[in-house]
Structure 1
Amino acid sequence: MRAVAILAVLVLTGCGGGEVTLQSRFDPNEVAWFSVRGTNTILGSAILRSAAGKVKTCAALPVTLFPVSAYARERIRHLYESENEGFNPLVGGKPADFGGDDPGYMATAKTTRCDARGRFSFSELPDGDYYLVATVTWRERTFGIENGGSLMQRVHVSTGETKDVLLAH
Protein backbone atom coordinates (compact mmCIF):
# COMPACT_ATOMS: atom_id res chain seq x y z
CA MET A 1 0.00 0.00 0.00
CA ARG A 2 2.90 2.34 0.73
CA ALA A 3 4.19 1.85 -2.84
CA VAL A 4 0.77 2.82 -4.21
CA ALA A 5 0.72 6.00 -2.11
CA ILE A 6 4.20 6.94 -3.33
CA LEU A 7 3.18 6.24 -6.92
CA ALA A 8 0.09 8.44 -6.57
CA VAL A 9 2.16 11.34 -5.28
CA LEU A 10 4.73 10.91 -8.06
CA VAL A 11 2.15 10.70 -10.83
CA LEU A 12 -0.10 13.47 -9.54
CA THR A 13 2.67 15.88 -8.70
CA GLY A 14 4.83 14.99 -11.67
CA CYS A 15 7.89 13.96 -9.66
CA GLY A 16 10.32 11.15 -10.27
CA GLY A 17 12.18 11.66 -13.55
CA GLY A 18 14.49 14.20 -15.15
CA GLU A 19 13.81 17.85 -14.43
CA VAL A 20 11.46 19.61 -16.85
CA THR A 21 11.32 23.40 -17.01
CA LEU A 22 7.86 24.69 -17.85
CA GLN A 23 7.40 27.86 -19.87
CA SER A 24 4.21 28.77 -18.01
CA ARG A 25 4.03 30.02 -14.45
CA PHE A 26 1.17 29.16 -12.13
CA ASP A 27 -1.17 32.15 -11.79
CA PRO A 28 -3.68 31.75 -8.94
CA ASN A 29 -5.84 34.50 -10.47
CA GLU A 30 -6.36 32.32 -13.55
CA VAL A 31 -8.06 29.65 -11.42
CA ALA A 32 -9.74 31.86 -8.79
CA TRP A 33 -13.12 30.84 -10.24
CA PHE A 34 -12.47 27.30 -8.98
CA SER A 35 -12.92 28.33 -5.34
CA VAL A 36 -16.54 29.39 -5.94
CA ARG A 37 -19.29 26.93 -4.98
CA GLY A 38 -21.15 25.78 -8.07
CA THR A 39 -23.99 23.47 -9.07
CA ASN A 40 -22.15 20.95 -11.25
CA THR A 41 -21.09 17.39 -10.49
CA ILE A 42 -18.47 15.18 -12.10
CA LEU A 43 -18.72 11.52 -11.22
CA GLY A 44 -17.36 8.42 -12.80
CA SER A 45 -14.99 5.50 -12.69
CA ALA A 46 -11.49 4.63 -13.83
CA ILE A 47 -10.49 1.22 -15.18
CA LEU A 48 -7.58 -0.54 -16.84
CA ARG A 49 -7.22 -4.07 -18.14
CA SER A 50 -4.34 -6.22 -16.96
CA ALA A 51 -2.23 -8.19 -19.43
CA ALA A 52 -4.39 -11.19 -18.47
CA GLY A 53 -7.52 -9.25 -19.45
CA LYS A 54 -8.81 -8.66 -15.92
CA VAL A 55 -10.49 -5.32 -15.21
CA LYS A 56 -8.70 -3.26 -12.55
CA THR A 57 -10.33 -0.23 -10.95
CA CYS A 58 -9.28 2.82 -9.00
CA ALA A 59 -10.82 1.38 -5.78
CA ALA A 60 -9.35 3.19 -2.73
CA LEU A 61 -6.94 5.15 -4.97
CA PRO A 62 -6.84 8.92 -5.51
CA VAL A 63 -8.64 10.92 -8.18
CA THR A 64 -7.67 14.57 -8.57
CA LEU A 65 -9.48 17.43 -10.26
CA PHE A 66 -7.41 20.35 -11.57
CA PRO A 67 -8.92 23.55 -13.00
CA VAL A 68 -7.59 24.15 -16.51
CA SER A 69 -4.97 26.89 -16.71
CA ALA A 70 -1.95 27.60 -18.90
CA TYR A 71 0.27 25.97 -16.26
CA ALA A 72 -1.96 22.89 -15.97
CA ARG A 73 -2.16 22.53 -19.77
CA GLU A 74 1.61 22.49 -20.10
CA ARG A 75 2.04 19.91 -17.31
CA ILE A 76 -0.74 17.71 -18.72
CA ARG A 77 0.71 17.90 -22.27
CA HIS A 78 4.07 16.79 -20.93
CA LEU A 79 2.69 13.86 -18.91
CA TYR A 80 0.01 12.63 -21.37
CA GLU A 81 1.07 14.08 -24.76
CA SER A 82 -2.48 15.40 -25.08
CA GLU A 83 -4.73 18.00 -23.46
CA ASN A 84 -7.91 15.96 -23.89
CA GLU A 85 -7.28 12.42 -22.64
CA GLY A 86 -4.42 10.07 -22.02
CA PHE A 87 -2.72 7.32 -20.11
CA ASN A 88 0.66 7.57 -18.41
CA PRO A 89 1.88 4.05 -17.53
CA LEU A 90 3.67 3.36 -14.29
CA VAL A 91 6.35 1.39 -16.12
CA GLY A 92 7.89 3.30 -19.02
CA GLY A 93 5.70 6.37 -18.48
CA LYS A 94 6.62 10.02 -18.15
CA PRO A 95 7.00 10.99 -14.52
CA ALA A 96 8.93 14.24 -14.32
CA ASP A 97 10.33 16.71 -11.86
CA PHE A 98 8.91 20.12 -12.75
CA GLY A 99 11.74 22.35 -11.50
CA GLY A 100 10.62 25.31 -9.40
CA ASP A 101 7.09 23.94 -9.20
CA ASP A 102 4.66 26.34 -7.54
CA PRO A 103 3.03 24.69 -4.48
CA GLY A 104 -0.11 26.73 -5.21
CA TYR A 105 -0.83 24.51 -8.19
CA MET A 106 -1.44 21.39 -6.10
CA ALA A 107 -3.16 23.48 -3.40
CA THR A 108 -5.91 24.46 -5.86
CA ALA A 109 -6.67 20.84 -6.81
CA LYS A 110 -9.48 18.80 -5.27
CA THR A 111 -8.79 15.16 -4.47
CA THR A 112 -11.04 12.27 -3.52
CA ARG A 113 -10.71 8.50 -3.49
CA CYS A 114 -12.57 5.92 -5.49
CA ASP A 115 -14.97 3.78 -3.50
CA ALA A 116 -14.78 -0.04 -3.34
CA ARG A 117 -16.52 -0.31 -6.74
CA GLY A 118 -14.09 2.12 -8.38
CA ARG A 119 -16.49 5.12 -8.43
CA PHE A 120 -15.70 8.74 -7.54
CA SER A 121 -17.59 12.04 -7.30
CA PHE A 122 -16.86 15.77 -7.19
CA SER A 123 -19.84 17.99 -6.40
CA GLU A 124 -20.66 21.70 -6.07
CA LEU A 125 -18.25 22.55 -8.89
CA PRO A 126 -18.39 25.90 -10.66
CA ASP A 127 -18.86 26.07 -14.45
CA GLY A 128 -15.57 25.43 -16.17
CA ASP A 129 -12.97 23.15 -17.70
CA TYR A 130 -11.12 20.58 -15.64
CA TYR A 131 -8.47 17.89 -15.88
CA LEU A 132 -9.53 14.72 -14.13
CA VAL A 133 -6.61 12.45 -13.19
CA ALA A 134 -7.16 8.97 -11.71
CA THR A 135 -4.67 6.39 -10.49
CA VAL A 136 -5.24 2.71 -11.26
CA THR A 137 -2.51 0.38 -10.02
CA TRP A 138 -2.20 -3.20 -8.83
CA ARG A 139 0.52 -5.62 -7.83
CA GLU A 140 0.97 -8.77 -9.91
CA ARG A 141 1.05 -11.74 -7.53
CA THR A 142 3.38 -13.79 -9.68
CA PHE A 143 6.29 -11.36 -9.68
CA GLY A 144 5.19 -8.72 -7.14
CA ILE A 145 5.51 -6.01 -9.78
CA GLU A 146 3.38 -2.86 -9.57
CA ASN A 147 1.39 -2.23 -12.77
CA GLY A 148 -1.04 0.37 -14.06
CA GLY A 149 -0.64 4.11 -14.17
CA SER A 150 -2.67 7.28 -14.35
CA LEU A 151 -5.54 8.20 -16.63
CA MET A 152 -6.45 11.76 -17.59
CA GLN A 153 -9.48 13.31 -19.25
CA ARG A 154 -10.47 16.93 -19.82
CA VAL A 155 -14.05 17.60 -18.72
CA HIS A 156 -16.31 20.65 -19.17
CA VAL A 157 -19.37 21.27 -17.00
CA SER A 158 -21.87 24.12 -16.90
CA THR A 159 -25.36 25.15 -15.79
CA GLY A 160 -26.02 22.56 -13.09
CA GLU A 161 -24.74 19.65 -15.15
CA THR A 162 -23.94 16.18 -13.84
CA LYS A 163 -21.37 14.48 -16.03
CA ASP A 164 -20.59 10.77 -15.71
CA VAL A 165 -17.07 10.06 -16.97
CA LEU A 166 -15.34 6.77 -17.73
CA LEU A 167 -11.55 6.95 -17.70
CA ALA A 168 -10.30 3.80 -19.40
CA HIS A 169 -7.35 2.50 -21.37
Structure 2
Amino acid sequence: MTGLDWRRALVRLATMLVVIAVVSGCVSTRAPVVLTASFDAQAASFINASGRAKVSGQAFVRRNNGKLLRAVGTDVFLIPRTAYADERIAALYGSRNQLRWGVRMPDADPLYEQYMRKTVASSGGSFSFDRVADGEYYVVAMIHLPSEVSFNQFPILERVNVQNGKSVRLVMRGY
Protein backbone atom coordinates (compact mmCIF):
# COMPACT_ATOMS: atom_id res chain seq x y z
CA MET A 1 0.00 0.00 0.00
CA THR A 2 1.15 3.47 -0.77
CA GLY A 3 0.96 6.37 1.64
CA LEU A 4 -2.19 7.65 -0.11
CA ASP A 5 -3.87 4.22 0.20
CA TRP A 6 -3.13 4.16 3.96
CA ARG A 7 -4.66 7.60 4.39
CA ARG A 8 -7.81 6.56 2.51
CA ALA A 9 -8.08 3.39 4.60
CA LEU A 10 -7.69 5.39 7.82
CA VAL A 11 -10.31 7.93 6.69
CA ARG A 12 -12.74 5.09 5.86
CA LEU A 13 -12.09 3.45 9.23
CA ALA A 14 -12.55 6.73 11.09
CA THR A 15 -15.77 7.41 9.18
CA MET A 16 -17.11 3.95 10.00
CA LEU A 17 -16.27 4.41 13.69
CA VAL A 18 -18.06 7.77 13.78
CA VAL A 19 -21.14 6.27 12.08
CA ILE A 20 -21.16 3.35 14.53
CA ALA A 21 -20.82 5.71 17.49
CA VAL A 22 -23.66 7.93 16.26
CA VAL A 23 -25.99 5.03 15.47
CA SER A 24 -25.33 3.25 18.75
CA GLY A 25 -26.11 6.47 20.60
CA CYS A 26 -29.58 6.46 19.03
CA VAL A 27 -30.46 3.00 20.29
CA SER A 28 -31.96 2.74 23.75
CA THR A 29 -29.85 0.80 26.22
CA ARG A 30 -32.45 1.19 28.97
CA ALA A 31 -34.25 -1.85 30.28
CA PRO A 32 -37.94 -2.04 29.42
CA VAL A 33 -40.21 -0.37 31.96
CA VAL A 34 -42.19 -2.79 34.12
CA LEU A 35 -45.41 -1.28 35.40
CA THR A 36 -46.75 -2.48 38.75
CA ALA A 37 -50.11 -0.70 38.60
CA SER A 38 -52.97 -1.98 36.48
CA PHE A 39 -55.42 0.31 34.75
CA ASP A 40 -58.48 0.86 36.96
CA ALA A 41 -61.47 2.14 34.97
CA GLN A 42 -63.37 3.01 38.14
CA ALA A 43 -60.50 5.20 39.40
CA ALA A 44 -60.42 7.01 36.03
CA SER A 45 -64.19 7.32 35.63
CA PHE A 46 -64.31 10.94 36.87
CA ILE A 47 -63.06 11.93 33.39
CA ASN A 48 -66.57 11.11 32.11
CA ALA A 49 -68.39 13.19 34.73
CA SER A 50 -69.70 16.58 33.66
CA GLY A 51 -68.24 19.42 35.70
CA ARG A 52 -68.33 23.22 35.72
CA ALA A 53 -64.64 23.88 35.07
CA LYS A 54 -62.75 24.58 31.89
CA VAL A 55 -59.12 23.53 31.44
CA SER A 56 -57.59 25.68 28.73
CA GLY A 57 -54.26 27.01 27.70
CA GLN A 58 -51.57 27.38 25.13
CA ALA A 59 -48.66 25.04 24.38
CA PHE A 60 -45.34 25.79 22.72
CA VAL A 61 -41.69 24.81 22.50
CA ARG A 62 -38.91 27.40 22.37
CA ARG A 63 -36.12 26.33 20.04
CA ASN A 64 -32.44 27.07 20.62
CA ASN A 65 -32.66 29.96 18.16
CA GLY A 66 -35.45 31.53 20.27
CA LYS A 67 -38.20 30.74 17.77
CA LEU A 68 -41.51 29.49 19.19
CA LEU A 69 -43.18 26.40 17.78
CA ARG A 70 -46.82 26.28 18.86
CA ALA A 71 -49.10 23.27 19.18
CA VAL A 72 -50.91 24.20 15.97
CA GLY A 73 -53.47 21.64 14.83
CA THR A 74 -52.01 18.95 17.08
CA ASP A 75 -53.60 16.70 19.67
CA VAL A 76 -53.92 17.73 23.30
CA PHE A 77 -54.97 15.10 25.84
CA LEU A 78 -56.65 15.38 29.24
CA ILE A 79 -55.75 12.27 31.26
CA PRO A 80 -57.23 11.48 34.69
CA ARG A 81 -54.59 11.05 37.36
CA THR A 82 -54.65 7.45 38.59
CA ALA A 83 -51.98 5.08 39.91
CA TYR A 84 -51.62 3.64 36.39
CA ALA A 85 -51.30 7.09 34.78
CA ASP A 86 -48.86 8.22 37.49
CA GLU A 87 -46.61 5.26 36.81
CA ARG A 88 -46.68 5.69 33.03
CA ILE A 89 -46.08 9.45 33.26
CA ALA A 90 -43.23 9.00 35.78
CA ALA A 91 -41.51 6.51 33.47
CA LEU A 92 -41.98 8.66 30.37
CA TYR A 93 -41.34 12.12 31.82
CA GLY A 94 -39.53 11.67 35.14
CA SER A 95 -39.75 14.89 37.13
CA ARG A 96 -39.70 17.11 34.03
CA ASN A 97 -42.47 18.28 31.73
CA GLN A 98 -40.72 16.95 28.62
CA LEU A 99 -40.56 13.39 27.38
CA ARG A 100 -37.43 11.40 28.23
CA TRP A 101 -36.30 9.86 24.94
CA GLY A 102 -35.35 6.20 24.72
CA VAL A 103 -37.79 4.91 27.35
CA ARG A 104 -39.00 1.43 26.43
CA MET A 105 -42.63 1.39 27.55
CA PRO A 106 -45.02 -1.53 27.28
CA ASP A 107 -48.16 -0.86 25.24
CA ALA A 108 -50.83 0.93 27.22
CA ASP A 109 -53.89 -0.92 28.42
CA PRO A 110 -56.48 -0.54 25.62
CA LEU A 111 -58.97 0.98 28.09
CA TYR A 112 -56.47 3.68 29.10
CA GLU A 113 -57.07 5.70 25.92
CA GLN A 114 -60.84 5.35 26.31
CA TYR A 115 -60.56 7.24 29.59
CA MET A 116 -58.87 10.30 28.09
CA ARG A 117 -60.32 13.36 26.45
CA LYS A 118 -58.74 14.75 23.31
CA THR A 119 -58.97 18.08 21.55
CA VAL A 120 -57.01 19.74 18.75
CA ALA A 121 -55.02 22.92 19.33
CA SER A 122 -56.03 26.00 17.35
CA SER A 123 -53.90 27.91 14.87
CA GLY A 124 -52.49 29.91 17.79
CA GLY A 125 -51.63 26.82 19.82
CA SER A 126 -54.60 27.26 22.18
CA PHE A 127 -56.72 24.40 23.49
CA SER A 128 -59.74 24.00 25.74
CA PHE A 129 -61.60 21.24 27.56
CA ASP A 130 -65.10 22.23 28.73
CA ARG A 131 -67.26 20.73 31.48
CA VAL A 132 -64.31 19.24 33.37
CA ALA A 133 -65.16 17.57 36.67
CA ASP A 134 -63.16 18.15 39.84
CA GLY A 135 -60.05 15.98 40.06
CA GLU A 136 -56.39 15.78 39.18
CA TYR A 137 -55.37 15.47 35.56
CA TYR A 138 -52.39 15.39 33.26
CA VAL A 139 -52.50 17.56 30.15
CA VAL A 140 -50.25 16.37 27.32
CA ALA A 141 -49.79 18.57 24.25
CA MET A 142 -48.04 17.51 21.08
CA ILE A 143 -45.87 20.00 19.17
CA HIS A 144 -44.98 19.32 15.53
CA LEU A 145 -41.28 19.81 14.90
CA PRO A 146 -39.61 20.67 11.60
CA SER A 147 -38.78 17.73 9.37
CA GLU A 148 -35.02 18.12 9.83
CA VAL A 149 -35.20 16.14 13.07
CA SER A 150 -35.68 12.38 13.24
CA PHE A 151 -38.87 12.59 15.32
CA ASN A 152 -41.74 14.82 14.33
CA GLN A 153 -43.70 15.38 17.53
CA PHE A 154 -42.54 16.75 20.85
CA PRO A 155 -44.91 16.03 23.76
CA ILE A 156 -44.99 18.33 26.78
CA LEU A 157 -46.84 17.72 30.04
CA GLU A 158 -48.50 19.67 32.83
CA ARG A 159 -50.33 18.42 35.88
CA VAL A 160 -53.52 20.25 36.83
CA ASN A 161 -55.87 20.06 39.82
CA VAL A 162 -59.48 21.14 39.23
CA GLN A 163 -61.19 22.06 42.51
CA ASN A 164 -64.65 23.42 43.30
CA GLY A 165 -65.52 23.80 39.62
CA LYS A 166 -62.91 26.54 39.12
CA SER A 167 -61.42 26.82 35.64
CA VAL A 168 -57.68 26.47 35.10
CA ARG A 169 -55.58 28.25 32.46
CA LEU A 170 -52.20 26.74 31.53
CA VAL A 171 -49.16 27.97 29.66
CA MET A 172 -47.31 24.83 28.63
CA ARG A 173 -43.66 25.43 27.74
CA GLY A 174 -41.18 22.96 26.35
CA TYR A 175 -37.50 23.73 25.89
TM-score over 0.5 (shorter chain): yes
**After the TM superposition, which residues 3-18 of structure 1 pair with which residues of structure 2 at under 5 Å, given as runs?**
none
Contact 1:48 1:148 in 2 (8 A): no
CA distance in 2, matches of 1:124, 1:86: 25
2:52 is matched with which residue?
A: 39
Which of 109, 112, 127 lines up with 1:120 in the alignment?
A: 127
| Stretch deviating more after TM superposition (103-112 or 158-167) | 158-167
Gaps of 5+ in 1: 1-16
Deviation at 1:33, TM superposition (A): 2.0
1:153 is matched with which residue?
A: 158
**TM-score (structure 2 length as normaliser):** 0.76
Gaps of 5+ in 2: 1-29
CA distance in 2, matches of 1:135, 1:94: 17
Deviation at 1:144, TM superposition (A): 6.2
Instruction: Determine what percentage of the aligned residue pairs are the same residue.
Output: 28
CA distance in 1, matches of 2:121, 2:128: 8
**TM-score (structure 1 length as normaliser):** 0.78
Deviations 1:102-127 (A, max 9, x none): 11111100011100000000010110
**After the TM superposition, which residues 17-96 of structure 1 pair with which residues of structure 2 at under 5 Å, given as runs?**
19-82=32-95, 86-88=97-99, 93-96=101-104
Give the length in aligned residue pairs.
145
1:8 is matched with which residue?
A: none
Larger RCO, structure (CA 8 Å, separation 6 or more): 1
CA distance in 2, matches of 1:118, 1:18: 35
Letter in 2 for 1:157: V
| Stretch deviating more after TM superposition (53-62 or 147-156) | 147-156
Contact 1:79 1:94 in 2 (8 A): no
Which is richer in helix?
2
CA distance in 1, matches of 2:142, 2:103: 13
CA distance in 1, matches of 2:92, 2:149: 26
Deviations 1:16-43 (A, max 9, x none): x974220100011111222111111100
Greater Rg, structure 1 or structure 2? 2
CA distance in 1, matches of 2:31, 2:73: 29
Letter in 1 for 2:44: V
2:111 is matched with which residue?
A: 104
Change (3 A) 1:104 1:75: same
